[in-house]
Structure 1
Amino acid sequence: MIRIAIVDDHAMVRAGLRQFFADQIDFAVVAEACNGREAMDIVRAGEVDVVVLDIAMPDQSGVDVLAAIKARAPDLPVLVLSGFPEAHYATTLLRQGASGYLNKDCDPEEIVKAIRTVHRGRRYITAGVAERLADGLAGGGEKAPHELLSERELQVFLRLARGETVGHMAESMSLSVKTISTYRTRVMEKMALASNSDLTYYALKAGLIQ
């Protein structure tokens, strides 16, 4: 039996997934969370085999939650199920430890297949994502500026783009204001942007925030 935790801030999405998974004889939804804090409570309990994670949540981004999960339980498979197209986040999140990435518009049967795949310790990668990863390895294709950011830089970028202050970010990420400011400077340099409003505009245009 594959014990699954669903992390999504929309109750209807959780209910739909729970009902669909109930039809799978080898699936059991044993926990649900609507934010990052609840997700980490589930991970700390250590009684799940696969986490199905949305990346757009109110209290902190799924990027942050993924990083926290992998720090706490590096071998726990995390399947990202997102409303954002693969092109926006997939390769970045896979590099940061996600076991798979699917868009919410995918065929439900593909979610089932993906969960079984990541539970076996393998990654689930669609043909489109595989092509993007191959392009990256081969040095082909032009990478988007945000794809050049490190994991921590991406977290800072997304938080700044959503209007979070450096002070609040430092507190919630347990880092100093000086460290956050250093990350902000790196992000600005790598992305060739000049202000927080530029970051927000880029993120909105790229579909990284809503």
Structure 2
Amino acid sequence: MSAGDSSAVEHPIRLLIADDHPVVRNGLRGAFADEPGIAVVGEVPDGRQAVDRAARGGVDVVLMDLRMPVLDGVEATAELRERAPGVRILVLTTFDGEADVLAAVAAGATGYLLKDVGTDELAAAVRAAHRGEAVLAPTAAEHLMGQVRRPAPAVLTARELEVLALVAGGASNREAARRLFISEASIKTHLLHAYGKLGVRDRAAAVGEAYRRGLLPATPA
């Protein structure tokens, strides 16, 4: 074994797996069992536990599924970027829709891969994410490049427009949740999805961009 390999083993990349399917978690743990330089330090079944575990320290990279209970992957990514900005998030999911990709990247994901990726490619992606390099599945890259090339109108869902309209009127997340009879977590998720579609990173920018694109009714003069 070379000196470089020895150093990698002595200082492994600490990996946290976040996925609500036990079979997937077990499979990923097995895939990394003999991978030099990468050590799985934990497994969690939902986004809330992923944020709490990673924020306690001892985690370098999180393999984050998108569809999870309690807190989904996009919202967990956004919260983790605030609580532990040094942790890299690599989305690993079966979903490759444009809205999913844009929302995840807008929330702060370092990379976006699909679950049909090979073991060697996945390990290479974890190492690249740890270095801060963007890692994207071909379809994810296409979605992002398409967003850059064309200022196409965002297609927001009716619920996302409802949330943005309430935010534009000055409602807090709690107030919007109360008025729409949904949870605050759902409000945050709808906002994050809207951010991704509009290409913005905060509430004020989202509202301004929605007005600019004519997605919200113009305010009275």
TM-score, length-scaled by structure 2: 0.65
- Structure 2 unmatched runs, 5+: 1-11, 168-176, 189-202, 217-221
Q: Which moved more, 1:109-118 or 1:15-24?
A: 109-118
CA contact (8 A) 1:77 1:119 kept: yes
Residues 1:43 and 2:54 aligned together? yes
- What CA RMSD, in Å, does the superposition of the two structures yield over aligned residues? 3.4
Deviation at 1:101? Answer: 0.6
* Match in the other structure for 1:106: 117
Greater CA radius of gyration, 1 or 2? 2
* Match in the other structure for 1:8: 19
Q: Secondary structure at the match of 1:65?
A: helix
* Match in the other structure for 2:140: 129
Deviation at 1:126? Answer: 2.9
CA contact (8 A) 1:86 1:102 kept: no
* Match in the other structure for 2:44: 33
Aligned length: 170
Q: Supply the distance in 2 between the matched residues of 1:49 and 1:35 (Cα, whole angstroms).
A: 18
Go from structure 1 to structure 2 and tell me whether the alpha carbon gap of 1:192 and 1:74 turns closer, same or farther (over 3 Å shift). Answer: same
Q: 2:183 aligns with which of 169, 178, 191?
A: 169
Q: Which moved more, 1:36-45 or 1:82-91?
A: 82-91
* Match in the other structure for 1:205: none
Residues 1:64 and 2:78 aligned together? no
Go from structure 1 to structure 2 and tell me whether the alpha carbon gap of 1:191 and 1:119 turns closer, same or farther (over 3 Å shift). Answer: farther
Superposition misfits of 4+ residues, deviation over 4 angstroms:
140-144, 172-175, 188-193
TM-score, length-scaled by structure 1: 0.68
Q: Supply the distance in 1 between the matched residues of 2:153 and 2:136 (Cα, whole angstroms).
A: 20
Q: Supply the distance in 2 between the matched residues of 1:114 and 1:124 (Cα, whole angstroms).
A: 6
CA contact (8 A) 2:14 2:61 kept: yes
Go from structure 1 to structure 2 and tell me whether the alpha carbon gap of 1:48 and 1:105 turns closer, same or farther (over 3 Å shift). Answer: same
Go from structure 1 to structure 2 and tell me whether the alpha carbon gap of 1:145 and 1:6 turns closer, same or farther (over 3 Å shift). Answer: same
